[in-house]
Amino acid sequence: MLQPNFLLRIVVGLCVGSSVVAGTVLAGDRAIPVASGGDLQAQVKATAAKVTPAVVSIGSTVIVRDQAFSDEGLPFGLVKDAPPRRQYGQGSGVIVSPDGYILTNNHVIADAVDVEVILADRRQYKGRVVASDPKTDVAVVKIQATNLPTVTWGDSSTLAVGEFVLAVGNPLGLSRSVTFGIVSAVGRADVGIADFEDFIQTDAPINPGNSGGALVTINGELVGINTAIASPTGGSVGVGFAIPSNMAKAAMQSLLKTGRVVRGFLGASTQDVTPLLGKIFRLPDVKGAIVTDVQAKGSAEKAGLKRGDVVVRFDGHDVMDSGHLRNLVAAVTIGSKHKLDFLRESKPYQADLVVQEAPRERAKKSQAPSAAASTVHPLAGVVFDDVTVPLARQMNLAVTSGVVVTDIEEGSLAESSGLQPGDVVLELNRQHISSFSVFQRLADPMKPSGLALLLVNRQGSVLYIPIQAE
């Protein structure tokens, strides 16, 4: 389990006494069953047996390049590049389809050159990263298998504080571990782990290695993907975080359909309401999202929002803060219409917001085709650039047009296939390459198992280099 912006360590679970009585309690409009001590133990045992087969261990290998080191044998105090080394990590995943699709955290497989999946019955498979989304810390891994056990999806929006949950994963390398606790809080944001945060907080013991594992209800329904724990002292403080299943499922479906997560966009910058700002804006309470800037021709401007407006409800749901509004808008369908309640100069107004798609982040020109393909695209790990006259002179190239390989990751599929820095790509899959934009248009749609047939000029010699995963 990786460590985002703060120290991540161990959390403590909940001890359940025998004084629990049978019955139900109401959480909003939902009745939650409460079992007796004996019934509760039987239910936990049944749920653990049901869910554990669908939770896997994921091992990842990344190439690490340490900082350069000095060598007294080199003149003028020059330094050598430290040799790359392999670093191994371990996390968990949840099987969500019988044909081998596995949901996990992006940070479990990020930059991995090799992914190994071990099932609960100890079968091992080579995993392929289908797609990932760092902004929600969600990733999808595929293995070649059928008739696999799966979990049942739950509705995370119905979770109530105090509800019993089980965390299933592989903490500290201890496979098939199950822990028990409660939902401590919902809707946790500003944790500093991902861009889009709406975490379930739990005290069910979660440890390094649990990342990507399942958080399930007492009935075995998947309501979260365990992601991180918080411990400023390194000790056990009982604070764990899981991505809600609704958010994870939506991200996964978008990744599988388009290779990326399609999100709604407000088209405006907002900030949280503080006690002082609430007083200045004469707000009835300290919640809502203050509009600080409106994007030209964006959804907010078309809805009539202006700087200084305070959005307090979205489709009738109270907006708690800026992050909450961002999540609400991001989760809806592009082009759908939604009712906004906002305050302007303390007076209530309503507007219809037609949600547009969030603008895509432009990849840097020198980057090899990416998306979730950073670890699975045939050309992953390769850096390309347009061939210009100055660059041709600098690199002593034999041609002055096309796309040149300026860097290549050691151990990458392209390197092992024979591609080298300085190679000028003339064709990709028998199509002429005149510029980087043409190259990127042809390379981006390529599937992980696709063939990249490059025709390259290497110092005047022209040769084909086929690159394809095994």
Residue 392 to residue 415: CA distance in whole angstroms: 22
Of 84, 23, 95, 28, nearest to 55 by C-alpha is 95
Residue 212 to residue 89: CA distance in whole angstroms: 13
Residue 188 to residue 173: CA distance in whole angstroms: 28
Residue entry with tokens 């403590």: 12
Which member of 57, 60, 92, 211 is catalytic?
211
Per-residue tokens: 34: 């409460």
Give me the residues paired with residue 407 across strands: 383
Which member of 57, 107, 184, 198 is catalytic?
107
Which member of 57, 60, 92, 137 is catalytic?
137
Element (H, E) at 78: none
Say if residue 91 is exposed, middle or buried (CB neighbours under 10 Å; 0-12, 13-18, 19+). Answer: buried
Residue 259 and residue 369 in contact, taking contact as beta carbons nearer than 8 Å: no
Active site residue 254: no
Active site residue 338: no
Residue 218 to residue 216: CA distance in whole angstroms: 7
CB atoms within 10 A of CB 316: 8
Active site residue 385: no
Residue 445 gets the label, from left (phi > 0), alpha (psi -120 to 50) or beta, of alpha
CB atoms within 10 A of CB 64: 10
Catalytic residues: 107, 137, 211
